[in-house]
Amino acid sequence: MGGTLNANHLMFLGYGALWTIGLSLIGLLGGGIAGFIIALCRISPNRIVRLLSAGYVQLIQGTPLLVIMFLTYFGLPTLGVTVSPLTAASASLTIYVGAYLGEIWRGSIESVPRPQWEAAEGLALSRSQRMMKVILPQAIRIATPPTVGFMVQIIKNTSLASVVGFVELARSGQIINNSLFEPFLIYTIIAGIYFALCYPISRISRRLETRSGPARLSLGTA
């Protein structure tokens, strides 16, 4: 204990912030791939695939990310699979983000007007051609504002990786606080850094929303 906040501490916070960004990108990439697969499964012509993917989304959206983190980090070792904090955090974020992005993207795909599907079918395009050439290019435009909005949720949710000991921004704040014990100052700085990361993305998301018609509220609390 003792000492005052100095440049080394701020450097340490800087590294933490970099890991927050890195983990967010991992979550976005992993969750994006998972979400894309889920979105396609949710609109699959196969009833069982649709039911299974809907069940997955319901399960994950009804479970806190924190519990998923604990399950992967503490639960898997009891089954004999040891995971590092980074692996546990990445896997949890992928599972969690995949469910939410999957729902967002399913909504976007389904809001491509019906005649577009029918016209593509009338042109004798195969199902994959219809998807790739007609539906997805339009769905991406609809999906962009809510996806950018959800990126803010991903960044904030990476703070929960601190509970499994992964040293990102929140955890590096806790570590510094353990030696300096100036919680209010340190957590204010941490909150400020998170704000600096998230606020620009929120602004971009809102601008995209107003440009592309009716605003959709992105939910979240994390």
Partner 1 sequence: MNLNLDFASIIERWPTFFDGALLTLQLAFIATMLGTAIGVLGAIGRRSHHPIVSRICGIYVEAIRNTPLLVQIFLVYFGLASLGLKFSAFVVAAAALTINVGAYTTEIIRAGFDSIPRGQIEAAEGLALSRAQIYWHVVMWPAIEKVYPSLTSQFVLLMLASSVTSQISAEELTAVANYVQSDTYRAFETYILVALVYIVLSLIMRAGFWLLGLVIFPRRRRLGTPL
Binding positions for partner 1, rule: CB under 8 A: 58-59, 61-64, 66-68, 70-71, 74-81, 152, 156-157, 159-160, 162-163, 170, 173, 183-184, 187-188, 190-191, 194-195, 198-199, 202, 215, 217, 219-222
The distance of closest approach from Cβ of residue 155 to partner 1 in the complex, given in angstroms and rounded to an integer, is 8
Considering beta carbons, is residue 44 or 188 the nearer one to partner 1? 188
Considering beta carbons, is residue 107 or 117 the nearer one to partner 1? 107
- In a 13 Å sphere around the CA of 86, the CA atoms on its Cβ side amount to 6
The answer for 189, left when phi > 0, alpha when psi is -120 to 50, beta otherwise, is alpha
Tokens at 198, concatenated: 């998230």
Q: Where are the alpha helices (DSSP H) in 62-182?
A: 65-70, 76-78, 85-110, 114-122, 127-129, 136-157, 169-180
Counts for the chain of helices (H) and strands (E), in that order? 10, 0
Sign of the Cα torsion 163, 190, 168, 4 reads negative
The distance of closest approach from Cβ of residue 23 to partner 1 in the complex, given in angstroms and rounded to an integer, is 12
Considering beta carbons, is residue 37 or 81 the nearer one to partner 1? 81
The distance of closest approach from Cβ of residue 217 to partner 1 in the complex, given in angstroms and rounded to an integer, is 6
Contact 171, 23 (CB under 8 A): no
Contact 57, 45 (CB under 8 A): no
Q: Residue 222 and residue 148: Cα distance in Å, rounded? A: 16
The distance of closest approach from Cβ of residue 170 to partner 1 in the complex, given in angstroms and rounded to an integer, is 6
Considering beta carbons, is residue 10 or 215 the nearer one to partner 1? 215
Considering beta carbons, is residue 96 or 105 the nearer one to partner 1? 96
Considering beta carbons, is residue 18 or 67 the nearer one to partner 1? 67
Q: Residue 183 and residue 197: Cα distance in Å, rounded? A: 21
